[in-house]
Amino acid sequence: MTRRRLKPEELELWRKVAQTTEKLHPEGRHVDTPLPKPSPRKTPKARIDGFDLGQDSKFKGNDHDIAPSVSERIKSAPVHMDRKTFGRLKRGKLVPEGKLDLHGMTMDRAHPALTAFILRAHSQGKRLVLVITGKGKDRDQDGPIPVRRGVLRHNVPHWLSTPPLAQVVLQVSEAHLKHGGGGAYYVYLRRAR
């Protein structure tokens, strides 16, 4: 911002205004008034002795992840397929008709591979397929932001519940130990029309 010089008529107007004002503190009239002395205060006694914030708290851990784990979410999902068949599926008695191994793939490779595999299996009339994701590795734990273990393990159920796969997938369940346990999913497909 640049300053401009006052025009002569503006300067003359300012001088007239300045002559009509009174000074707040004329030079000869400066008076020092002593400040009142503060009265001595009594220090209040502590009402609570030896109190530490949170000393009676029941929660002592620092686990801030309030979202349920993938396993808990899948277990709590409603059963859309036949209950008897679902029970056999959970016990590992059903044999998958197809298998896709995403273990070691990046997300940008795994998502199209999963989509193609599921749609192809559905068009071939398969009902039960196995998708292997792996359990994931513990890494990058030094940072301030928590990193979930197993990126594919967390994303595959989401991908299966969104279009175009949601129209052909009837049920997603964690695999039995003999088929990979927590590192694999049973995907039960709808009947092909």
CB 102 within 8 A of CB 132: yes
Cβ–Cβ < 8 Å for 105, 131: no
Both tokens assigned to 14 = 């300012």
pTM score:
0.61
pLDDT greater than 60 at residue 65: no
Asked whether residue 178 carries a pLDDT value surpassing 90, the answer given is no
Bigger pLDDT: 137 or 5?
5
Task: Check if the beta carbon of residue 48 is closer than 8 Å to that of residue 148.
Answer: no
What pLDDT was estimated at residue 55?
A: 75
For residues 153 and 182, what is the distance between their CA atoms, to the nearest angstrom?
8
- Per-residue pLDDT at 135 exceeds 60: yes
The reported pLDDT for the residue numbered 168 is 94
Average pLDDT over residues 143-168: 84
Tokens in use for 54? 């949170």
58-66 contacts at long range (C-beta below 8 A, 24 or more positions apart): 64/146, 65/146
Ordered alpha helix ranges (H), the chain: 8-19, 70-76, 83-90, 107-123, 151-160
Q: In this model, does residue 76 exceed pLDDT 80? A: yes
Report whether pLDDT(140) > 60: no
DSSP state of 160: H
